[in-house]
Chains A and B, each alone.
Chain A
Amino acid sequence: MGGWDHGPSTATDDQSAETSARNARYGLWLFALYCAAYAAFVLLNAFVPDSMTKRSLGGLTVSVLYGLGLIALAFVLSLVYAWMCRTNLPPKDDKTTGGAS
């Protein structure tokens, strides 16, 4: 339609569809893990706010420890994900398109 000249780019697509599918699967598992930690934090804050003032390790309040923990967890998960996705699977023979089908 319309002859617009920049459809989806496949020129830079260096991954097989299989690699992409595998990476997406890893991504979603790690995402679920983080979601659970974040949701627990939000719900705890919303419904049991007093739990946040309790002291934990080294006299820090739960709020500070949990908050810093969430930031650290984001970094750790991003490293884990990059490590899991580091290799490309060989492309399948019958691969026709690089995008989602």
Chain B
Amino acid sequence: MIYERSALAVLIFLAFVGMTLGLSFYLGRKARSAQAYFAAGGGIHWFVNGVAFAGDYLSAASFLGICGIIAFYGYDGFLYSIGFLAGWIVALLVVAEPLKRLGKYTFADALDARFQSRGIRLAAAVSTLAVSIFYLIPQMVGAGALIQPLLDWPHWVGVLLVGTTVVMIVLTAGMVSTTYVQFIKGSLLVFFSGILTILILQRGLRVDSRPEASESQTITITADGKKLINGKPQGRGEGETDLRPVGHVSELPGGVQETGPLGPLEYLSTLADSRIVLWDKKEQKHDDGSKTITFSSREVSGDQVLRPGNHPIFRGIHSKVVTDRLEFISLMLALFGGTASLPHILIRYYTVKDQAAARKSTVVGIAVIGCFYVLTLYLGLGAMTSGALDVSDENMAAPLLARTFGAFLFAVISAIAFTTVLGTVSGLIVAASGAVVHDLLASFVRTPFSDHDKVRIGKLAAVVVGVIGMALGILFHGMNVGFLVGWAFSVAASANLPSLVMLLFWKGTTRQGIIAAILVGMTASLAWILVSGDTYVKVYGWNKADALVPFSQPGIVTIPLGFVVLVIVSLLTRPRQATA
């Protein structure tokens, strides 16, 4: 779809970015030591840290990806919300306190507290880098997706813009400014999502009975790279056409045309009794090298929309084949275990003063994140029935929904989503650069660095990770960002969860066991993703049936694998004397 550039949007957007950078420079003057740079001096208030948890966690994927999946497939997107929040329970109840007790800068500190081993540091550093970079991809893709409609710049410009801004934020102040950026962003995101939800409920549901609202649409990419919409060139001029915005209710209970304002629960029950039009996408390659994507409408009952199984990933739960169900279980397991293994979430435990503060900030985090995820259900369903969706871009559902309430809200929501990307990316980059300085280099270089050098190397690492992130963000253009985040969670959970949990709860864990579990978990999950059906189709453009593994989400195999490897290697390398 072609989007109109709005001067207001550009203005609000620049104000946000300017504010973020200004804050960074201001706080940056205060952060001089390594402790201040990587862990904000341990002096962040628990409430600020709690909201910053939400800011870190509610990434572009949560906001854009989940809203997009709900808008196009209904309840399946909400499954991500449920799984993402459930992960916090693991973080709070199982790993938060011991981690805070054992570590100082990075989660390798905690793993390493008992063994003082270079090998563990190295393995943990590699997995932190792998997960951070994997998690950076969807954030960067999201940034590009946002810039397009807002400023009418190509995708890659958005990616470069985010990358550069974030590297500047991280360079100026590290964890302190990252924390305050996250705090502001987390608050704004929840606040404005709340406002959008109120507006959605005020508007209620409305039937659109125009026949053209359900007409199929096509995009054709000709052999020489031209883009045709419904057979005509894309554009606004004479003889040109553009994709029609979609998404509507075709029938309301009781045959009414409009419900008027609805209560929050009433909205969901009314929707369950309505009939709604969803959109299917089919891609066809022709012999002459051209390609047609057809979007066709499909009317379904509301209770179908509000049950899982409409999205391709989750469709398996209605099939007779058992491995298809494993796909779903596997993803839900990765979401559950992934949160507590994400490096940029783990480092946030080191920014507060003690375990009690770590606990309290997690409770605040869960409250804010939980609220937001409840709101995503309304935002997604609101977008589904808003008549404003772009059939060709799931990631745009939330901003386009906001536009139906006026240009101002559209601008604000887009700007917040963009700062969301900024915040999460800067958190990831601090985590990655901390891992490089404290763990990767520490396992090679014997002489300790001065405080000053540590900060300098950290900043250098931040630039390198930023550049890698930008390159991958451009490469993965067009994939649903929520889906990509699911992968990052799988890798995080497979690599880090077994060692974290076993170290805390099994006295027989050995150094070699931890190293083996991290490396095996990480490589196995990465390898699984690379040879899975979804990657075959979406990244390489190959046939799904040729994939080497029966389903695409690795979690259900690779997370237990990590545990098994850890236990076996630990038993084999058990010290002769009584265990420590």
Q: Which residues of A contact B (CB under 8 A)?
A: 1-9, 12-15, 20, 23-24, 27-28, 30-31, 34, 38, 41-43, 45-47, 49, 52-53, 55, 58-61, 63-64, 67-68, 70-72, 74-75, 77-79, 81-82, 85, 88, 98-101
Please classify the interface of chain A as helix (H, G, I), strand (E, B), loop, or mixed, using the class held by over half of its residues. Answer: helix
Report which residue of B89, B92, B116, B438 has the largest number of chain A beta carbons within 10 angstroms of its beta carbon: B89
Q: Are B102 and A63 in contact (CB under 8 A)?
A: no
Q: What are the residues of chain A within 8 A of B578 when measuring CB–CB?
A: none
Name the one of A5, A31, A63 contacting B89, with C-beta atoms under 8 angstroms.
A31
**Taking the nearest CB of chain A, how far is it from the CB of B349, in angstroms?**
11
Name the one of A23, A68, A70, A82 contacting B86, with C-beta atoms under 8 angstroms.
A70
Considering the chains assembled together, what is the distance between the CA atoms of A82 and B359 in angstroms? 7
Q: Are B504 and A100 in contact (CB under 8 A)?
A: yes
Q: What are the residues of chain A within 8 A of B448 when measuring CB–CB?
A: 3-5
Select from chain B the residue with minimum beta-carbon distance to A98.
B101
Stretch at the interface among B266-274, B392-400, B537-545, B568-576: B266-274
Q: What are the residues of chain A within 8 A of B88 when measuring CB–CB?
A: 74, 78
Considering the chains assembled together, what is the distance between the CA atoms of A61 and B308 in angstroms? 11
Considering the chains assembled together, what is the distance between the CA atoms of A100 and B93 in angstroms? 17
Q: What are the residues of chain A within 8 A of B42 when measuring CB–CB?
A: 12
Q: Does B118 contact A (CB under 8 A)?
A: yes
Q: Are B93 and A75 in contact (CB under 8 A)?
A: no
Q: Are A8 and B113 in contact (CB under 8 A)?
A: yes
| Listed A/B pairs (22) with beta-carbon separation below 8 Å | A6-B109, A12-B42, A15-B354, A20-B98, A20-B101, A45-B79, A45-B308, A46-B329, A49-B317, A60-B265, A64-B268, A68-B377, A70-B82, A71-B373, A74-B370, A78-B88, A78-B89, A78-B367, A81-B93, A85-B359, A99-B113, A100-B113
Name the one of B104, B336, B353, B359 contacting A81, with C-beta atoms under 8 angstroms.
B359
Q: Are A49 and B307 in contact (CB under 8 A)?
A: yes
Considering the chains assembled together, what is the distance between the CA atoms of A16 and B123 in angstroms? 31
Q: Are B366 and A53 in contact (CB under 8 A)?
A: no
Q: What are the residues of chain B within 8 A of A4 when measuring CB–CB?
A: 442, 448
Instruction: Give residues 82-125 of B contacting A (CB, 8 Å).
Output: 82, 85-86, 88-90, 92-94, 97-98, 100-105, 109-110, 112-114, 116-118
Considering the chains assembled together, what is the distance between the CA atoms of A77 and B101 in angstroms? 22
Q: Does B165 contact A (CB under 8 A)?
A: no
Q: What are the residues of chain B within 8 A of A30 when measuring CB–CB?
A: 89, 93
Select from chain A the residue with minimum beta-carbon distance to B372.
A71
Q: Are B93 and A27 in contact (CB under 8 A)?
A: yes
Q: Are A2 and B363 in contact (CB under 8 A)?
A: no
Q: Are A61 and B272 in contact (CB under 8 A)?
A: yes
Considering the chains assembled together, what is the distance between the CA atoms of A5 and B447 in angstroms? 10
Please classify the interface of chain B as helix (H, G, I), strand (E, B), loop, or mixed, using the class held by over half of its residues. Answer: helix
Given A14-B354, A72-B370, A100-B504, answer yes or no on A61-B93 (Cβ-Cβ < 8 Å): no
Considering the chains assembled together, what is the distance between the CA atoms of A99 and B113 in angstroms? 8
Name the one of A9, A63, A100 contacting B306, with C-beta atoms under 8 angstroms.
A63
What's the count of A-B pairs with C-beta under 8 Å?
183
Q: What are the residues of chain B within 8 A of A1 when measuring CB–CB?
A: 116-118
Contact with A along B290-332 (1 / 0, CB 8 A): 0000000000000110111100000001100000010011001
**Taking the nearest CB of chain A, how far is it from the CB of B147, in angstroms?**
31
Q: Are B304 and A28 in contact (CB under 8 A)?
A: no
Considering the chains assembled together, what is the distance between the CA atoms of A63 and B78 in angstroms? 10
Name the one of B81, B89, B504 contacting A34, with C-beta atoms under 8 angstroms.
B89
Select from chain B the residue with minimum beta-carbon distance to A42.
B332
Select from chain B the residue with minimum beta-carbon distance to A30.
B93
Select from chain B the residue with minimum beta-carbon distance to A56.
B269
Q: Does B356 contact A (CB under 8 A)?
A: yes
Given A14-B355, A15-B101, A74-B86, answer yes or no on A46-B75 (Cβ-Cβ < 8 Å): no
Considering the chains assembled together, what is the distance between the CA atoms of A28 and B90 in angstroms? 9
Q: Are A78 and B363 in contact (CB under 8 A)?
A: yes
Q: Are A71 and B93 in contact (CB under 8 A)?
A: no
Q: What are the residues of chain A within 8 A of B110 when measuring CB–CB?
A: 8
Report which residue of B92, B116, B304, B353 has the largest number of chain A beta carbons within 10 angstroms of its beta carbon: B92
Q: Are B446 and A58 in contact (CB under 8 A)?
A: no
Q: What are the residues of chain B within 8 A of A2 when measuring CB–CB?
A: 118, 442, 446
Name the one of B79, B85, B116, B118 contacting A74, with C-beta atoms under 8 angstroms.
B85
Considering the chains assembled together, what is the distance between the CA atoms of A32 and B535 in angstroms? 35
Q: Are B272 and A60 in contact (CB under 8 A)?
A: yes
Q: Are B370 and A71 in contact (CB under 8 A)?
A: yes
Q: What are the residues of chain A within 8 A of B268 when measuring CB–CB?
A: 60-61, 64
Q: What are the residues of chain B within 8 A of A8 when measuring CB–CB?
A: 102-104, 109-110, 112-113
**Taking the nearest CB of chain A, how far is it from the CB of B541, in angstroms?**
30
Given A1-B118, A71-B82, answer yes or no on A78-B362 (Cβ-Cβ < 8 Å): yes
Given A27-B97, A74-B89, answer yes or no on A53-B104 (Cβ-Cβ < 8 Å): no
Given A20-B97, A49-B318, A58-B265, answer yes or no on A64-B306 (Cβ-Cβ < 8 Å): yes
Select from chain A the residue with minimum beta-carbon distance to B448.
A5
Considering the chains assembled together, what is the distance between the CA atoms of A67 and B522 in angstroms? 30
Q: Are A49 and B309 in contact (CB under 8 A)?
A: yes
Given A82-B360, A82-B363, answer yes or no on A47-B109 (Cβ-Cβ < 8 Å): no
Select from chain B the residue with minimum beta-carbon distance to A66.
B82
- Given contacts A49-B308, A61-B268, could you give 8 more A-B pairs where the C-beta distance is less than 8 Å? A8-B112, A34-B93, A47-B325, A49-B307, A55-B272, A55-B303, A61-B306, A74-B370
Q: Are B94 and A100 in contact (CB under 8 A)?
A: no
